[in-house]
Every structure is written in structure tokens, then in C-alpha cells.
Amino acid sequence: MKQSLLFPLLLIATGLSAQKLPPVFSAGTQAYTPELTRTWLSPVRIVMESGMANARNLLVKRNGQADLSNRDICTLEKAGAYIMLDFGREIHGGIQIVTGVYKGNKPAKVRVRFGESVSEAMSDIGGEKNATNDHAMRDMIVEVPWLGSLELGNTGFRFVRIDLVEENMALQLKEINAVLIYRDLPYKGSFRCSDTLLNTIWLTGAYTVQLNMQDYLWDGIKRDRLVWVGDLHPEVSTICAVFGEQNVVPKSLDLARDITPLPQYMNGIGAYSMWWVLLHRDWYLHTGNIQYLREQSSYLKGLLNMLITKIGPDNREKLDGGMRFLDWPSSGNEPAIHAGLQAMMVMTLHAGAELSKVLGDAETATQCTEAATRLQQHVPDPNGSKQAAAMLALSGLASAEKMNNEVIGKDSTKHYSTFFGYYMLQAKAKAGDYAGALRDIRQYWGAMLALGATTFWEDFNMDWIPDASRIDEVVPEGMKDIHGDYGAHCYIGLRHSLCHGWASGPTAWLTEHVLGIKVTAPGCRTIEIEPHLGDLDFAEGTFPTPYGIVSVKHTRMANGKVRSTVKGPKEVKIILSK
């Protein structure tokens, strides 16, 4: 990958100079309190232009204010003139167009197209490439004021193309700035090792999730600007590793609960109601917030009791009444979906028993444990699915070594996916195959970076790579459009999201398994540290707890042994594996 791609991510990681929104409205007069920051960014590159004069003036950082001087102005000289700008990295927000003095003294019509890739910013709605305005408007015709400014857009993008569609007019442009809308959070967690590619992957996963931490925790900033409960699980794992406790997590979990009365399934998917239970177990383990957990007790008890009724007399799960779903690439493989759901039921009921004990509900805890024991008597075959094999391994229904050797590790990263890739990596770790997991992270997530990604994608298939162009260039003749020519299910062509929080799994995985940081008591009161460096010479980093930062550094010595140094708050008991 180009080394320059790391620099924008490092800017975010170290904190941008940003203007906070003031509290304009008094309490009780607003629908909600914004927790987001707005930062103005100048474009870094002109991708292409036609019919422009002095286009490079748009790359100069200015002040966002229209003025009468018309100094250092650029001009769209006639209808059909256009410019495409690159803001250097994927961002969430819109743009600010600042105009100058031009003849006619009236607004001018322009077409604005946002794109996560160059190809998308050049596209028309529909057609073979399947560009859309789903969930967010990214292709529109608007009027910009004479000698003024206009802000527009609320989507995920890196590239913007602006075409003048007004006849008999030359439009004077002073500035085109991106308006980045994000949560201005410190990266309390960190990761650095002897492999710069892994460092970039860790940062990219963290940034991908940060962009999706909007008013709620979304899965995508262009499309899927929704609270998908299953998709939250890898995102929340990344938040715990990077940002620590953040209110966007309980806010999103509570939204899913409040809009899903039982016996409905969250997002209409049985597995997603199970992910809600697993999320609460993980969130309680990290935060130790018993008061928040108690707020879930009534719904949790009802949900667990409902799930127990979804076990047949043959000890098979029978999750009916909703979409039977694990991950898009496993769709259509019914035996694999059953295997994955059977495993998830076991995991969920064990987590439910843990939470019920904490809440003092011994009856529900016993019922969950007995139900999980029944489910364990039926062990389905994964039917060649890496998704199902990962769940079988993590639930204990099947040997992690067997699932890794026979299914997950077969054909390397072929049939990996950005969502369930996290659980494949977790299963490989459980099997002790840390070297294989590091190889797969470099190969699969690294391939997206090599194609120009600055955030991780909704899906990625290794079969797409041959003859594929980068997302930050016009597709050369004879090459494939990695964004517009591929995709399946709900992400065909340019509808495919190139910033999807569920793809951030390697960030959490590298912290947990390479740094070796594993929380084993609620509220991070106890942390066990067992590093697995694989082929790395060293790895170091930090991890946020409710009591402060835990710092670790692991160095491989000449004799092959690993020397570790660890520091942390006095409230946290740290157990270092020998």
C-alpha cells in the first residue's frame, strides 16, 4: 500500500483540531443533545477536471468566508464543466461550497455527487453499477448562492464531483471544503508492533468504527446508517479496545430493545436478539456497570425464556418467525446456518446464565444452563462454511483445532468475510493458530488497503483482486472496477458500503491476542495478559479500563523468549502469563 494512506489515519488517531458545537438550545426544547464535532477539511488532490480555470486554488486552505475580493478564485467556465476532488480519506458528513462574484447575481445550479470511490463519484443512479441514494442522498442537483456559501450532504464519502449544469453562466468558486462530522474521542487504546502493515490495519479498524459512532452506533456511514444489533458486536469489541466506555453503546442497545417488543426478534433476525445478550455480557465485563445491567433484567429474562422455547425435542434449535441469518456469504447454505444458530444458542444461553446469576435470578440461570446442555447433545456439521465452523468452535460444540484444520484454515482467506472474519480469527486463536490468524489479517484486510481503502468494507472477496483497479483512481481500460463490478446480496455494485463497522475485527483481535489483554472480571477488575507475537519482534500498546490505562510491551529476546513489561491502575489486578 502507499505509505501516505497512513498519515490521514494518524491525524485522526492523535486528535484533530476541531470546533465543538455549542449548546444552542436550552434543556427541554431540543429533540436530543448533539455529541458530535464538526471539522472543516480542505481537499488534498484534484482527481480530474474539465472546463476549469485555476482549479488548484481549491487545494489551498482558506477560511470558509465569502468575500468581495474574488482573489485566488477558480471558475467552472460553462455548463458541463466539472471537477472531482479527493479529501484523502473516507469521512462522514458533507461539503461546504463557497462562491465568489460572478455575472448575473443569481444562484447557479450544480450537480453534486459524493463517492466512496472515484467510480462512485462519477456514476449515475441505477444502471449496471447500481449507484443509489439509499439511506443517504449522495447524488443531487442543488442551487448554490451568488457570493455566499452552502452546506449540503450527510453521507460517507472520500470523493466529490461537482458539475455546472446552469446554462450561460460561469461559476466562480472560492472554496470547496468537506465538513467532517464525528465524535472527537481520544484513542485511549493503542497498538504498535514490528509490522507496519498490522499497525495500519489496527488504526484503520479503529477509524472505521469511530466514523460510525454517530448519534447512534451505525454499521455504515453511506448505507446501513442503522442500528443492526449483530453488527454491533465486533464494533463494540473495537470500542472497548480503543475508546473504552462510551454512551453510544448503551444508547444503541436500548434503542434496539425499545423498538423490539417480545416476541419479536431484533432487526427481524433471530441471531440478532442473541447478539444483544452476548453484547450485554461483554459490556458488563468491560464496564462493571451493574445499574445499567439491572435496567435490562425484565427484557433479558423474557428474551431468554423465549429462546428456550425455540429448542425442539430433538435438541435442535428451531428459531422461527424471523430471518435465519449468520452472515451474507453463508446465505443459502441452510445446513451451515442451522449449525451456526445452534452454536449461537449455546453461547447465548451460557451468557444468559452468567448475567442472570449476577442479577440474582437463580431460576433463569438454571433454566439457561439446562437448555444449553440439551443443545450440546446435537452437534451439526458446518457444511463447509467458515462462518458456521467458527461458531461451532467458539461455542465448544466442536473442537477448535478440528474446525480450523478442516474448514477455517482451508484455502487460506478464500470465503472469508469482513463481519464473520472476526469470529474466524477468534476460532483460530482458540485453536492456537496465532501465526495463521496474523497471516490472514495481513492477506485479507491488507488487500483492501492495497486497493486504496482508508476504512474497511462491508464485504470483500479475494476472488475480486485479479485485474482490479484501486478505489482512488479512474478505472484503467481493461481492468475491473473493484467497487462497481462486484458484490452480492444487498451490496451489489456501488451500493456496497466501503466503511462498515462490522469489518473492524482485527483491531480488537490484535489487542486481545497479540498484546494478550483479556478481561476476566467485571469492570476490568482482573486482566490476564498472555501475548502471542507470532513472527513479530515486539508489540506494545495500551488498553482503557474504567480505572485508567493498562500499558504493555512485549519484546522477543535473542533466545526466543518474550520479555513483558506491564503497568496499570492499582484497582486492576493484572495476571501475567509465564
CATH of the domain at 158: 2.60.120.260
- In degrees, rounded to 5, the angle at the alpha carbon of residue 117 between the alpha carbons of residues 64 and 454 is 80
CATH of the domain at 524: 2.60.420.10
User: Does 45 share its domain with 177?
Assistant: yes
Residue 151 lies inside a defined structural domain of this protein: yes
Residue type, 126: G
pLDDT in tens, the chain (578 residues): 333 333 344 444 434 433 443 444 444 455 555 689 999 999 999 999 999 999 999 999 999 999 999 999 999 999 999 999 999 999 999 999 999 999 989 999 999 999 999 999 999 999 999 999 999 999 999 999 999 999 999 999 999 999 999 999 999 999 999 999 999 999 999 999 999 999 999 999 999 999 999 999 999 999 999 999 999 999 999 999 999 999 999 999 999 999 999 999 999 999 999 999 999 999 999 999 999 999 999 999 999 999 999 999 999 999 999 999 999 999 999 999 999 999 999 999 999 999 999 999 999 999 999 999 999 999 999 999 999 999 999 999 999 999 999 999 999 999 999 999 999 999 999 999 999 999 999 999 999 999 999 999 999 999 999 999 999 999 999 999 999 999 999 999 999 999 999 999 999 999 999 999 999 999 999 999 999 999 999 999 999 999 999 999 999 999 999 999 999 999 999 999 86
Number of structural domains (the chain) is 3
DSSP 228: -
User: Nine-digit cell at 406?
Assistant: 478442516
Strand order in the sheet with 526-529: 517-521, 526-529, 573-576
- In degrees, rounded to 5, the angle at the alpha carbon of residue 214 between the alpha carbons of residues 208 and 215 is 160
Residue 196 lies inside a defined structural domain of this protein: no
SS3 assignment, position 424:
helix
Residue type, 362: A
User: Does 170 share its domain with 274?
Assistant: no
User: Does 174 share its domain with 302?
Assistant: no
Q: How far is it, in rounded angstroms, from Cα 578 to Cα 563?
A: 10
Q: What confidence score (pLDDT) does residue 476 get?
A: 96
Q: Which residue has the cell 486554488?
A: 57
Tell me the C-alpha to C-alpha distance, in Å, between residue 566 and each of 80, 532, 556: 61, 15, 15
Q: Which of 163, 182, 201 is the last residue of a domain?
A: 182
pTM tops 0.85, yes or no: yes
User: Does 158 share its domain with 264?
Assistant: no
Residue 379 lies inside a defined structural domain of this protein: yes
Residue 251 lies inside a defined structural domain of this protein: no
- Partner residues linked to 109 by β-bridges: 143
User: Does 266 share its domain with 177?
Assistant: no
User: Does 265 share its domain with 380?
Assistant: yes
User: Does 149 share its domain with 63?
Assistant: yes
CATH of the domain at 321: 1.50.10.10
User: Does 47 share its domain with 152?
Assistant: yes
Is residue 294 within 8 Å of 249, Cβ to Cβ?
no
Q: What confidence score (pLDDT) does residue 11 get?
A: 44
Q: What confidence score (pLDDT) does residue 33 get?
A: 59
**Domain extent at residue 47:** 38-182
User: Does 139 share its domain with 268?
Assistant: no
Q: Which of 162, 182, 202 is the last residue of a domain?
A: 182
CA-closest candidate to residue 457, choices 351, 347, 328, 362: 328
User: Nine-digit cell at 512?
Assistant: 486481545
User: Does 48 share its domain with 178?
Assistant: yes
Q: How far is it, in rounded angstroms, from Cα 90 to Cα 453?
A: 8
Residue 534 lies inside a defined structural domain of this protein: yes
Residue 277 lies inside a defined structural domain of this protein: yes
User: Does 274 share its domain with 165?
Assistant: no
User: Nine-digit cell at 521?
Assistant: 472480571
- Partner residues linked to 86 by β-bridges: 45, 159
Q: What confidence score (pLDDT) does residue 451 get?
A: 98
Residue type, 337: I
Q: Which of 336, 365, 398 is the last residue of a domain?
A: 398
User: Does 384 share its domain with 272?
Assistant: yes
The answer to whether the Cα torsion of 356, 362, 368, 369 is positive or negative is positive
Q: What confidence score (pLDDT) does residue 418 get?
A: 98
